Structure 1
């Protein structure tokens, strides 16, 4: 069912959810996981009334939190893996381009069956465009799937390849950069606490040194990282990824990685604490 107005929505939630003063109480967990969560995600995605969409999205997100389903950053796990404190597994990252609610349910069911650990649900800037899934819609679909399948614990949502388009940047650099800034803001508000900045499209191989080839890449990546640090909620360190070369053409090299990281860290230090 797609709720058409607030009265319908309240009737559907009666005796299952109670919400007031900006919070949600779950009165009937099984009822919430049953048809109601289906109706809420369909309403959040398909209702013609934006106000009802917002209420449905709020109920999904707050209801998920009540059940211990929490959007999270994978930063601390990656740090532990880098230090060798944990090992023996990988973290799959899955881009869902359609039927997100249904596909995410299949992922959670498989993870539960296999007693698997973390899984990243991601969507790229290009995919957001051609699938018409804004970050909030994508987040709600994944969280609703977690509710439906009985998943508990962290859910890792990632903005994948938040990429600068080289042609648009060459024509209107500030406008293209602002579009990525705006998407970062939108994603963090939707609880995407893992973001892959992709400014590798700006690598210029015509320069004589590798550092100069990577300069625009690491400079803009650092700028966008600083923005993320300004926007991240208290107590959360957003996991930030970067790119050093376009997919295809040739393999990236250790020297390119080193040049990117050296320049990136220099730029971050110049911009102050992050």
Structure 2
């Protein structure tokens, strides 16, 4: 990828991914930095705590305990060298409220409190903080939602502390996509106008970088050139790479991982799912238990994985228009 001079590339791991992959932030940072050294890369490496998310049911039972758990994770990520923290309190949005600001109230209040906590840790480098107004898989975001969140957030954070630099919105996607009984993925009705309209408000009214797209890696390839056209600030890709990895694994290892998921995740089998749908939605949880086996694949076994991922990255990066962006990045970092 170095031949394409790609600049702003962020490596992220979400709170949920830390759990099911069995990787704490310091291990994740070590792996990414080791890979950069091995490839001969010289330059900044961006590490992000993605979806530092409040569990709504845990928060409802004991808000203080859930907040403390999130704060502990944030501190762990910062100590590991992460300098991007995406706070996700969108799980606390209450759509039963009539007023938009009331819907977003707990979201902006908690996001402001966690922003203040990050600033209180006195990290030498600037920490980029993100927020989220639309829980992925839910109602599409609007400029009015963004206004309601930002109005409450800016009042809560005050003028003495740096606030957020970006905000994630919901456009119609879902994490991992929706598998159909026949093995195909359900067509996504993605509304690019959400990115255009909310992004404009974010930049022009609130002077932040713009809006972020989650849950995009399982979208059809032909849609990806739409993201730069609609001025998307950041796009998060994960499941598509997991799918490529599974498709390229040695068959014997893949079979054992599927068997593990079928045995250990029975309680997650939703009514109406067939076995193929169940495996697709739960197989990611086998990454942690089989981490050591994947680390110890032979060079020959890793080769088809590397080749498939390289092709996937090249195609995505071309459509996302990030070739030859290293010089732009160098102006600021």
Q: RMSD across aligned C-alpha pairs, in angstroms?
A: 1.2
1:245 match: 134
1:161 match: 51
Note if contact 2:54-2:70 (Cα within 8 Å) is conserved in structure 1. yes
Are positions 1:273 and 2:161 aligned together? yes
Note if contact 1:244-1:260 (Cα within 8 Å) is conserved in structure 2. yes
Note if contact 2:53-2:88 (Cα within 8 Å) is conserved in structure 1. yes
- How far apart are the structure 1 equivalents of 2:14 and 2:25? 10
1:67 match: none
- Write out the 4+ residue segments of structure 1 that deviate beyond 3 Å after TM superposition: none
Give unpaired runs (5+ residues) of structure 2.
Answer: 163-333
1:185-241 deviation digits (Å, cap 9, x = unpaired): 00000010001000000001111200011000000000000111112422x110100
- How far apart are the structure 2 equivalents of 1:139 and 1:249? 31
- Structure with bigger strand share is 1
1:144 match: 34
2:10 match: 120
User: How many residues are matched?
Assistant: 162
- How far apart are the structure 1 equivalents of 2:59 and 2:37? 41
The DSSP-based 3-state class of the residue aligned with 1:181 is: helix
- How far apart are the structure 2 equivalents of 1:154 and 1:273? 25
Residues 194-209 of structure 1 aligned to structure 2 (within 5 Å): 194-209=84-99
With over 3 angstroms needed to count, the CA separation of the structure-2 counterparts of 1:161 and 1:232, relative to structure 1, is farther
Deviation for aligned residue 1:167: 0.9
Residues 23-172 of structure 1 aligned to structure 2 (within 5 Å): 110=1, 112-172=2-62
Note if contact 2:18-2:25 (Cα within 8 Å) is conserved in structure 1. yes
The DSSP-based 3-state class of the residue aligned with 2:85 is: strand
Note if contact 1:232-1:238 (Cα within 8 Å) is conserved in structure 2. no
Are positions 1:263 and 2:152 aligned together? yes
Deviation for aligned residue 1:158: 0.1
Note if contact 2:119-2:161 (Cα within 8 Å) is conserved in structure 1. no
Note if contact 1:188-1:232 (Cα within 8 Å) is conserved in structure 2. no
The DSSP-based 3-state class of the residue aligned with 2:113 is: helix
TM-score (norm 2): 0.48
- How far apart are the structure 1 equivalents of 2:4 and 2:127? 28
